[in-house]
Amino acid sequence: MRKSKSGSDESQCDVADCKELSKRSISFKKVESALPNLKFKKTTKKVHLCKLHYKEFKKATKTERALNKLTWD
């Protein structure tokens, strides 16, 4: 169930007060657990994130994984 990867989807970022175009849609549960303080305009199964908020999400999820990664370096 993949949509166009080129990002031609013109929906907006679902984060409250954010007017950027969405870059990715992520499972709301994942976003919520990674960024519990983030407020959304609406909460559906999947929320749209712009580039910036997706980056934040990735950073937040990375923090968890960083623990495992530390043993690597």
Residues that bind Zn ion (CB under 5 A): 13, 15, 18, 20, 50, 53
Q: How far is the CB of 70 from Zn ion (least distance, A)?
A: 29
C-beta of 12 vs 33, nearer to Zn ion? 12
From 10, 5, 4, 50, select the one nearest 26 (Cα to Cα). Answer: 50
Give the DSSP letter of residue 23.
E
Beta-carbon contacts of residue 11 (< 8 Å; ≥ 6 apart): 21, 22, 48
C-beta of 17 vs 73, nearer to Zn ion? 17
27 bridge partner residues: 46
Q: How far is the CB of 53 from Zn ion (least distance, A)?
A: 4
C-beta of 33 vs 66, nearer to Zn ion? 33
